[in-house]
Chains A and B, each alone.
Chain A
Amino acid sequence: MDAIDLILTNINYIGALALFLIGLRIVVLHSNLIKRIMGINIMGTGVFLFFVAIGNVENGTVPIVGNDTNPVFINPLPSVFILTGIVVVVSITVYSLSLVIRIYENYHTIDQKELSKMISEENNEH
């Protein structure tokens, strides 16, 4: 069938999209701050998979020059960009986790609904 053929050719992109939407569901539905940060990390992983899947070439090999004569290489450029992107996502995750530690020391809860109640009560007192 034509539809199943189309799905099987683009299976990498559909998997990356599924990872992105799973991460989005985690951020929207849970109210625990640490679960939301992990959801943002999963969304980032989905975007990386989408970007790397652009460089695929059918029957292509790893881009390492050996003793073969004229092989067909896959596109090396998206992988190079994603190496830098992974480091940025890791440092953003670590920074937001350290902010959650300071929030807990100050308010003694990491639930988002109780936090907004406490902060609006503080603002009403002033």
Chain B
Amino acid sequence: MNDIIIKNITRIVIPFAQVYGIFIILNGHISPGGGFAGGAIIGTSLILYTLVFGREKGEKKFSHKMSEIAESGGIMLFISIGILGMITGGYFLTNIEAGFPTGELGSLLSGGFIPLLMIGIGIKVASTMISLFNLLIDEEK
């Protein structure tokens, strides 16, 4: 789009939206939200960038290779945390008995592995949204 108002307002709004999305992901175990809602917010901000500035600039910021790494990396983080639980003598995906650090109830570093799982889910959902959008608006010349 060649409108100057939309370009300037998008440049101001996108960093705030991404910081808000990261805040919702990291506080998944204290307040309502979690991985899926935060990942949807970050994915929507990337879609907004591709819509306003065109396909080529969006391809430079978040290329096909980086979305491949993000898609696979989210599931690999999940599975490796589960196998870590199996190595220290429990079942798949144990939380406190496998040695993940617990804190006091209500602080940021509590809950065992729950913040790590939320980060993995958030990265995966954001990468899924931007990949699906890029696939749907691709045109054959």
Which A positions have Cβ atoms within 8 angstroms of B?
62, 64-66, 83, 86-87, 94, 97-98, 101
Contacts and interface: CB of A to CB of B under 8 A. Distances in A.
Per DSSP, chain B at the interface is loop
Per DSSP, chain A at the interface is helix
A11 B54 CA distance: 45
B42 to A, nearest CB: 16
The number of chain B residues touching the other chain, given as a range, is: under 10
Contacts of B87: none
A98 B32 CA distance: 33
A83 B30 CA distance: 18
16 contacts: A62-B32, A64-B30, A64-B31, A64-B32, A65-B105, A65-B106, A66-B106, A83-B36, A86-B36, A87-B36, A94-B132, A94-B136, A97-B136, A98-B135, A98-B136, A101-B136
Contacts of A83: 36
Contacts of B36: 83, 86-87
B110 to A, nearest CB: 11
A122 B45 CA distance: 45
B106 to A, nearest CB: 7
Nearest to B138: A101
A97 B30 CA distance: 37
Nearest to A79: B32
Contacts of A97: 136
A97 B31 CA distance: 35
Given A86-B36, A87-B36, A101-B136, 4 more contacts: A64-B30, A65-B106, A94-B136, A97-B136
